[in-house]
Structure 1
Amino acid sequence: MGEGVTVTGDIAASSDIRVDMWSKLGSKVEVGRNAYLGEFVTIDGKLFVEGDLDVGKEVKIRGGFEAKGWIVVRNPVPVIIFLFLYIKEMMRLGKGEEIEKAVEELFEDSEDDEDFEIRELGENILIIPAGAKLSPETINVGGETIIGNNCHLTGNIRAHSVDTGENLTLKGSIYSEGKVNIGENSTIYGNLYSKGAVQIGRNSRIFGGIKADSVILHENARVDGTIKAPSGVSFLRDAAEKPALAEVNALGKVFMREKRELPENLPPAEPIKVADQVEENSPIKSSANPGSIFVPGRKRKTARTQALERSRRFTGARAYRKEQKSGE
């Protein structure tokens, strides 16, 4: 738990627990292994620790405590005074570079150890950010909320944005300033309110309404209440198989037929032969006379016009033959 976290209710941890400074725990706390309590932590109930107990300055446990391991009470004031005296003496000697180097090594080692500790914890850990408030009615987080898989939560969630995993069961509503992403196979017994986008995953069900700027809903998801989205509602669909081919007969009836796959070892296809063309001097007519075909919009030629066209063609052919003979 981060700094300034408030929890109203019992806490049970199967492994270690670490509570940062200025946090308030309102009831009984049970720890399966070791417990670390920062400065100015207050526990209204009783504390049970199976392992070691590390307690900071000004920690109040009003219900008493039981610890089966070592009990360490830290007091950071002497350490700070020692560092102050050390820096003062080194500055008097004019060794500013050594002071800077010592301070950098001190803080770098602490940051590396903290990062290594977080990485070694694995996925089965509950992280509560600083300033969060948890109660049976409300879970209030100031920043982004990330919920893992197979979680069961009771109470309303208020956060800047919410991103959940799969198989979530939430008995409460979600209030978010940003986006809300609900994973697959999740069940929400409440409403979803967001000023951003809301996305509902596959096979998820919302026993309530949705009010957001936009909604992206999977085709297999279900919402029992009303959806209000000024920017629109979109539906996601999985990649489906291609539909079967269909045939329509003359009466308009549709017959479905399956797509047949061609065998692998097929002989190469033979080229298509073009039909023999009809020679010009053949007695068989290849097509009708173009002049005798009626075309809508074309004016019919008079007999005088047709006679002039024939004479022009005849005169032109005779002049062409004369030119050919003179050239020979």
Structure 2
Amino acid sequence: EKEKIFAQRYSQTYTHAKSILTDDLWTKTLQSPDESQDINKILTGLGHHLSLYYALPHKDYGLDRKKKIDLDNDRRAFCQAYSYVSKTLLITAIPELFAREGLPLPIQLANTKEGTSLLPSWLIEERKFAHMNEQEAAYNFTRELVFLRPERLFRRAAPAPTDLFNSLYAAFAVLSPDKPPKFPAGREAAIEKLVAHIKEYVSTAVLESLKPVAARVLQREFEPEITRWIHSNHRTSLRAATLIGCDIRRVVAWVLSEPDNITGMVAKDRIKEVLRFVISAEYAELRAQLGLTIS
């Protein structure tokens, strides 16, 4: 009986992490083991500059920065959840929030810039978030905030998958000038523009440090590797949201409510990923490191 009472009380309380996810925990414990470390390294070095290449002024998205959601003074549960998740996931440049109705998902990245500075924004379905408690809002924010990490930013900033592939072709051409990959037919001009952008804006030191990484990738079939990396990003997002969501029963319900055609994985595969993660040693270690274990 005592155990039942404890379980009921605990399930009604949203437990916050007492520590943050360090870079080491991200790399070694949280992110999907299927993620390509080499692709992550290349996009950590180049992702910001590639995102800036495609970035647009706020007005092009119909955004007025004066109308952003005031996170400092807005005490609604979803605003508190946003600040909590950003801090816990070690997101250093926290994007501004803007209300936008009719989105395919509750939250969507707008790749915005201010002058020559990259300044990403989040568009959110404000009415949906206003009806969420802090725990559900935290789950939804985590699903997307993982893409604000340097290695994954361009995954969301690229306008389309073709732009992501074009950018990586350009990166390999710059990083392996003696043995560049053959560009796909019909996309040469777009890739050459990206090559010029990388050469102009990325420092020589960064490019030199990435050349051995690119050489390793080019020894393999890199297009399938990029595709696997894209799919594994979804798994990393699920792992992070499961960890931050805390309550497995609720997490499963939220996962099942997501549309299959947008999240990149069908429902049964999303649930499998969640269940694999919660019985793993990594999940137990992360809960202990973040102070989420039940004493």
TM norm structure 1 = 0.17
- Higher relative CO (Cα under 8 Å, sequence separation at least 6) belongs to 2
- Based on CA coordinates, which of the two structures has the bigger radius of gyration? 1
Higher helix fraction (1 or 2): 2
Query: Given the two structures, how large is their TM-score scaled by the length of structure 2?
Result: 0.18
